[in-house]
Amino acid sequence: MSAPEIDDRVQVTTHEMAYGPHAVARLDGKVLFVRGAAPDELVEVRIRESRDRFAFADVVAVLRPSPARRPTPCPYLPRCGGCPWQHLDYAAQLAAKSAVVREQLRRIARLEAAPIDAVLPSPRQLGYRRRIKLRVDGGAVGLLAAASHSVVPIDHCLLAEPSVNAAIPAAAALVSALTSQLRRIELNAIAAQSARVVVAAEVEGPFAEADAARIETWLAEFPNVSGMALRGRGWRRSWGAIRTKLEGEDGPELTVRAPGFTQVNPLGNRALVATVVTAVDPRPGLRVLDLYAGAGNFSLPLRRRGAVVTSVEEDREAAADARSSAAGESGPSMRVIAERAERVVARLADGAEQFDAVVLDPPRAGAAGCMPALLRLRPQRIVYVSCDPATLARDLRALSPAYRVERVQPIDLFPHTYHIETVVSLRLTCEGPVPGVSSARRHAPTIPPRRRARRRQV
């Protein structure tokens, strides 16, 4: 049979799930990524895109369904691209995520027998998201369609908390009311079980000054919106109360100004923080460096247990929020540095500062820029929190000359998607200098300027 071409229809049997919205099949030696399929089923597919070694396809008909397949409860599927694994039962989702983590660590990090624990499930499978990000296309407000840049208008999302769903009409009304061109709108519950939300939006181009009065009118019309934050290239404006609160694993709240990053799954975040705290094993006087620290999701719980924390976060508003939260609590001093993690960890290594543990929580791109300096800094323990198994595996391989992986704990913060959070505990095993790593930096690292893209926009 000739190589598949676009719009060809073929029958294939799927195998495992890929790290993405696809199941994997094979056709005449070519890997076929099939959207809408489940593992171990016979499907008829239409080729959407074909390349030399692989192709993408969409399910046309399920000829022999997988035991893992289930009816999708969402009325916007399969057109909406937000929940590409919703057609799998939850046990199958967890099994697939575990397999993805194991395969990435085996193939990229060369960890053939990594000590991977069972995936911690999300406490909720639906209604777990405290924030969602909507796209705007003309007058339409919704989510991106699968494998497309078009927008699927929605009036609710099964993953969102009730207060977030109740604010979707307010988002649609905002688009209609303003002259400024909105392109994304984020709805964020201000606190657990709250009926109110903060709206944060991105504007294409300049802000139309006449919109300030329109926003005041809009806020009065929708009392379930506590405040509004707008931003464009080089500017920010806000109205009303734009702070949100995320209840911590041990009770106290983390306060963040919108559109600052917080985990979307509050109950899942408690499990994440508890896992990191257990891995660090803080005690009074323990010196901890928290890189990519955000507003203090890990820094503050570690400090409450007596650790002396240096918190590093590039986003100045998030760093200021961490300082503010720390100032409102008793505990050891907490140094907050508002600078890029790569630069800070290199400077700390140059200054021969010592830390007992380092927590890494980087964006999806990982922490490759920190690896050389970490190998010079040589903390006894590194706890790496990752939302991307591939970049995690790459960075673990870079650390392997000096560190042993002691535990891998996947945590499902994002049911019905392919995303998976993974916490890896590493222990220093190389007592002397790491081969090939200089004890002093010869030149400042070349780090190109970039716009901050704070990780998990899912």
Distance CA 14, CA 38 (A): 7
Of the candidates 319, 417, 439, the residue with the CA atom closest to the CA atom of residue 22? 417
Tokens of 216: 């005041």
For CA atoms 36, 116, 291, 323, give the dihedral sign. Answer: positive
Of the candidates 22, 26, 155, the residue with the CA atom closest to the CA atom of residue 81? 22
Tokens of 10: 């073929």
**Strand duo 54-64 + 131-137: pairing:** unpaired
Three-state DSSP at 347 gives helix
Q: How far is CA 307 from CA 178, 303, 396, in A?
A: 48, 5, 25
387 noted as active-site residue: yes
Distance CA 7, CA 58 (A): 10
Q: How far is CA 14 from CA 60, 68, 77, in A?
A: 14, 12, 20
List the catalytic residue out of 74, 83, 387, 430.
387
Task: Specify whether the CB–CB gap between 311 and 287 falls below 8 A.
Answer: no
List residues with catalytic annotation: 387
